[in-house]
Amino acid sequence: MAHRKWLMLATAAAMVLSLAGAAQASGIGPASGSAAGSAAGPVTVRAQAAAGCGFTPAVPADRFKGVPVFNAAQAARPYTAKLHTDQGVITFQALTAKAPCTTFSFRFLAEHQYYNQTHCHRLTTQGIYVLQCGDPTGTGSGGPGYSFNDENLAGATYPAGTVAMANAGPDTNGSQFFFVWKDTTLPPDYTPFGRVTSGMAVLEKIAAAGDDDQNGPGDGFPTLPVDISRVTVGPN
């Protein structure tokens, strides 16, 4: 279990989503400047992002596509992402103004086909209600070969339809992310970077089928396989 990256199921304030065992794991807390960035306007957020995304080589480096070089003009372009799965299409709007580093990274990976032919490896149906994806190894321990900083954490909440990053502590984001399929209470430690605009019925269908409880009651591999054939991004 110590070497699995997953959304850790716990209770109340101790409840966290983590990717345990990552080489870059550290303590819990927001990235430097993220609270101020969330309160400021989009221009201020992007200016902070240009200086503070913190894209850094890290292990593991599964399907390594390189380390992104932040470009503020590209990061500012709004986009919609579509995950084409064997259970249906899930579409979300990227929060490029609020989470420019995270949405820049997701677009970088999607455009390099990083997520193609992967699957969502974890579903939780008790306490927290999420579907976790983004690990090309399908084990919960994979990563893209780099990490980057948290953002958009001040006052973060996780209602149904939220798309957010899984992590191993502050500023350890990689490729793994999760969909919230039912309103969930979590500490504001996981960068929200998207909102589902289509496909909630797909997520609810996956959740209704349950999981195999391999990590504990209501926490395991989805009973309905969620294979991602491809992820496409395009303008809103």
φ/ψ of 176, rounded to 5, equals -80, 140
43 part of a folded domain:
yes
In this predicted structure, which of 42-51, 106-115, 207-216 has the lowest mean pLDDT?
42-51
pLDDT tens-digit series, residues 186-232: 999 999 999 999 999 999 999 999 999 999 999 999 999 999 999 99
Q: Which amino acid is at 97?
A: A
Confidence at residue 123, expressed as pLDDT on a 0 to 100 scale: 97
Strands 130-133 and 177-180, sheet pairing? antiparallel
138 part of a folded domain:
yes
In this predicted structure, which of 12-16, 83-87, 155-159, 173-177 has the lowest mean pLDDT?
12-16
Mean pLDDT, the chain, integer: 83
For residue 204, give its domain range. Answer: 32-234
Report the distance separating Cα 204 and Cα 174, nearest Å. 26
CATH code at 120? 2.40.100.10
Q: What percent of the chain has pLDDT over 90?
A: 76
52 part of a folded domain:
yes
- Residue 131 pLDDT exceeds 60: yes
Confidence at residue 218, expressed as pLDDT on a 0 to 100 scale: 95
171 part of a folded domain:
yes
Q: Where are the beta strands (DSSP E) in 72-226?
A: 80-85, 88-94, 118-119, 122-124, 130-133, 144-147, 162-165, 177-180, 192-198, 219-220
20 part of a folded domain:
no
191 part of a folded domain:
yes
208 part of a folded domain:
yes
Assess contact for 131 and 48: CB atoms under 8 A. no
φ/ψ of 99, rounded to 5, equals -135, 65
Burial class (CB in 10 A: 0-12, 13-18, 19+), 108: buried
Confidence at residue 49, expressed as pLDDT on a 0 to 100 scale: 53
Higher pLDDT, 172 or 19: 172
Q: Is the pTM of this model over 0.85?
A: no
Structure tokens at 206: 């996956």
- Average pLDDT on 60-85 reads 97
Among 10-19, 21-30, 223-232, top mean pLDDT goes to 223-232
φ/ψ of 34, rounded to 5, equals -70, -35
- Residue 65 pLDDT exceeds 80: yes
156 part of a folded domain:
yes
- Residue 146 pLDDT exceeds 60: yes
In this predicted structure, which of 57-61, 138-142, 208-212 has the lowest mean pLDDT?
138-142
Confidence at residue 26, expressed as pLDDT on a 0 to 100 scale: 19
Residues 6+ apart with CB under 8 A from 14: none
Domain count, the chain: 1
Higher pLDDT, 14 or 96: 96
Report the distance separating Cα 130 and Cα 177, nearest Å. 10
